[in-house]
Chains A and B, each alone.
Chain A
Amino acid sequence: GAGVSQTPSNKVTEKGKYVELRCDPISGHTALYWYRQSLGQGPEFLIYFQGTGAADDSGLPNDRFFAVRPEGSVSTLKIQRTERGDSAVYLCASSLSRSDIYNEQFFGPGTRLTVL
């Protein structure tokens, strides 16, 4: 079956521009997560959706970052006024539900964002 897909795989943009990163979770997965992985670091939690609503957005670094999941499936991470420090791999993951204590999250391949 299809796994989590993310588009684009690579995005190069200039400082100050706006970018959108898309995530298609595994069909039927109600939980969706965004992470950011900087060089030499592990994935860092950004935001978690349960269905259409953001259940936990405590990891978003500032108000330039926003994410939506309007129909409870595809999600878009939006970054306004990009800065060079936003350069990282943005990972999306999905899981069946929050009731699974082991919370096996299935990750997409990530979008590598480079801000020049």
Chain B
Amino acid sequence: DQQVKQNSPSLSVQEGRISILNCDYTNSMFDYFLWYKKYPAEGPTFLISISSIKDKNEDGRFTVFLNKSAKHLSLHIVPSQPGDSAVYFCAAGRWDKIIFGKGTRLHILP
């Protein structure tokens, strides 16, 4: 039973437009949520996080929104750039244990 779900395996977005990646979770006990970005043949790299007591966290072009009542979070990237093409993993954590979604492959089109 997947606790963290990314229902879109892939997403294509025009360069300069907004990319929105979505994630749903089932366990209301998670303390924090994270987004990781992964390039081929590399390990995931941390992108942005949000505490369960917040509803928004912004870092440059990246903003994460958390809707606890819907158990849903999203990552907004604006404007999208070619280097943003990668696989994005949503993850949820409690204490030191992190559970990852399956990932969404983002393609930024020229």
B6 proximity list for chain A (CB < 8 A)? 42
Q: Which of B32, B46, B89, B95 contacts A106 (CB 8 A)?
A: B46
Query: Is there a chain A Cβ closer than 8 Å to B34's Cβ?
Result: yes
- Whether A103 contacts B32 in the complex (CB less than 8 A), given A40-B102, A42-B100, comes out as yes
**Complex Cα distance A48/B96, Å?**
8
Instruction: Give Cα A110–Cα B45 distance, bound, in whole angstroms.
Output: 12
Interface presence of B80 (CB below 8 A): no
Mark out the residues of chain A between 38 and 60 whose CB falls within 8 Å of any chain B CB in the assembled complex: 40-45, 48, 50, 55-56
Number of interface residues of B (CB under 8 A): 26
Interface string of A1-34 (1 = CB under 8 A from B): 0001000000000000000000000000001010
- Given the interface pairs A40-B102, A44-B100, the reply to whether A107 lies near B32 with Cβ below 8 Å is no
Q: In this complex, what residue of A is CB-closest to B39?
A: A109
The CA of A103 and the CA of B31, in the complex, are separated in Å by 11
What separation, in Å, do the CA atoms of A31 and B103 have in the docked complex?
24
Chain B at the A interface: mostly helix, strand, loop or mixed? strand
Query: Does B110 have its Cβ within 8 Å of any Cβ on chain A?
Result: no
Question: What range describes how many residues of A lie at the interface?
Answer: 20 to 34
Q: Are B100 and A101 in contact (CB under 8 A)?
A: no
> Residues of B at under 8 Å CB distance from A?
4, 6, 31-32, 34, 36, 41-46, 49, 51, 89, 91, 93, 95-103
- Chain A to chain B contacts (Cβ below 8 Å), 15 pairs: A42-B89, A42-B91, A43-B89, A56-B96, A98-B95, A101-B32, A102-B32, A104-B46, A105-B46, A105-B98, A107-B44, A107-B45, A109-B41, A109-B42, A110-B43
